[in-house]
Amino acid sequence: MTDRIAPTDTEANAAAPSAPGAQIPAPGTGARPAPVTATALLASYRAGTLSPVDATRDALARIEATEPAVNAFVRVDAEAALAQAEESARRWERGEPAGLLDGVPVTVKDILLQRGGPTFKGSRTVRAAGPWEEDAPSVARLREHGAVFLGKTTTPEFGWKGVTDSPLSGATRNPYDPALTSGGSSGGGAAAVALGAGPLGLGTDGGGSVRIPAAFCGVFALKPTYGRVPLYPASAFGTLAHIGPMTLDARDAALMMDVISGSDARDWSQLGPVAESFRTGLDEGVRGLRVAYSPTFGGQVAVDPAVAAAVRAGVERLAALGAWVSEDDPDFTDPVDAFHTLWFSGAARVVQPLGPEARALLDPGLREICGQGARYSALDYLAAVDTRMELGRRMGRFHERYDLLVTPTLPITAFEAGLEAPKGSGHRRWTGWTPFTYPFNLTQQPAASVPVGTDPRGLPVGLQIVGPRHADALVLRAAHALYAAGAAGVAPPAL
């Protein structure tokens, strides 16, 4: 451990970037709408200065303008979205909003069930024929609270990798440079949020799948503690798979968590009821918190210098805000082999019912890892579970000394679309360039990605905040402190 990290005068007084969604464009002006937070939209609905219909039309216009270049959506139902927005507008006119998100446009990753249309999961093996009559628990909670569903966002096939391309829908591209990947597997949702195509995106995260695209696309994402957001049907990837929000800032994520963390009897592994709102205490700051900063996991990860500099600046801002920050590393070596055993076995289970003709339709990379997963024995699987439990023990002890851990979200910025790993990296699998994310799916801890700057090409950089299990509110509070201090958030893409 080194001495406490303290900010320099220059860093402590650095000019703050403008916050995303700071201004709401007047409806009907024809100007391109800037991304607007859900919190700001709801305030304008209450004040009567904006209608859910206006907000939905703006989001649909952004989809129409950007979809050819980015390809973030599998399906958009403009007619249904506008009908939902009109119903919401009538509720607001009566002063009777349906819930916490009434009239807010949202997107749903096409892994999660949403009644009224197919959930293809990025695969040509899924048949469109219904009936599709059931919502996933998180989707059901959004519906109960009056959210407006814009459409389903893209995913790699069955969410198997950390970039978003599939045999069904092709590649989803980065809003900051369409030649590059959006990341994945919730890449469509992160890209949509960055582009102003709805301020809230619902995604899944089995090894970094909301945090990876959030880092590449310059938005916020939270992987909650496992079980905090109910999941049904159960994932074939087991207890690695979490549900989480992708938003323009941490306050919107806390608001969304208040909705999607509602209980659902279909998930036998869900946690108990939430004691209080995730927005309670959000503004309390980080003064006195003990924060460990691990820039390279003890030299195990080579980090791009621009990424390292942006993340360190974010850490120094936490110190300037009163956190006790020390450079220290979690006590574990890369658990990638155990993760692969669990992940590849889960993938093999996903495709187990498919016959030879259907398997021929699969992403070749997915077929490859399924073959490897099918060769693991039960003893191999249980050995990986043992590694996972030991990792959880080590992180539990680590958090006896530290309230939070901060790392880069990723060691790199976005690379060429259509590839599983960057050219020349030496990596074959996506796990080679995501060493900061998947360990915390193994441990089931809450982890967030916060945009804290850009590299020389203007590509976003993410800072990851990890908390002990059940400390979701604390992770959100620390992330919000960076936003409130002007140290988080990047300029929206020019697209």
| 209 is a catalytic site residue | yes
Query: Collapsing DSSP states into helix, strand and coil, what is residue 74?
Result: strand
How does DSSP assign 189-244, residue by residue? HHHHHHHTS-SEEEEEESSSTTHHHHHHHT-EEEEPPTTSS--SSPPTTGGG-EEE
Q: Is 185 a catalytic residue?
A: yes
Burial class (CB in 10 A: 0-12, 13-18, 19+), 157: buried
Query: Among the options 138, 169, 182, 209, which is catalytic?
Result: 209
Structure token pair of residue 41: 């939209």
- Name the token pair of 54: 């206006």
At residue 225, what are phi and psi to the nearest 5 degrees? -50, 140
What are the angstrom distances between the C-alpha of 248 and each of 8, 261, 285, 313, 472?
Answer: 28, 19, 19, 20, 18
What is the C-alpha separation between 205 and 212, in angstroms, rounded? 9
Among the listed residues 44, 109, 138, 223, the single catalytic one is 109
List b or e across 312-327, with b for residues whose CB sees 16 or more CB atoms inside 10 angstroms.
bbbbbbbbbbebbbbb
Tokens read off for 338 = 């155990």
User: CA-CA distance, 55 to 49, in Å (whole number)?
Assistant: 11
Q: Which two tokens stand for residue 229?
A: 């957001």
CA distances from 486 to 19, 368, 475, 490 (A): 7, 45, 17, 10
Residue 87 contacts residue 56 (beta carbons within 8 Å): no
Count of positions (residues) in the chain: 495
Q: Among residues 51, 88, 182, 185, which one is catalytic?
A: 185
Nearest of 397, 417, 370, 347 to residue 206 by alpha carbon: 347
For residue 466, which of 495, 431, 441 has the smallest C-alpha distance? 441
Amino acid in position 392: G
Q: What does the alpha-carbon distance between residue 53 and residue 163 come to, in Å, rounded to a whole number? A: 33
Tokens 């979809």 appear where?
67
- Which positions are annotated as active-site residues? 109, 185, 209
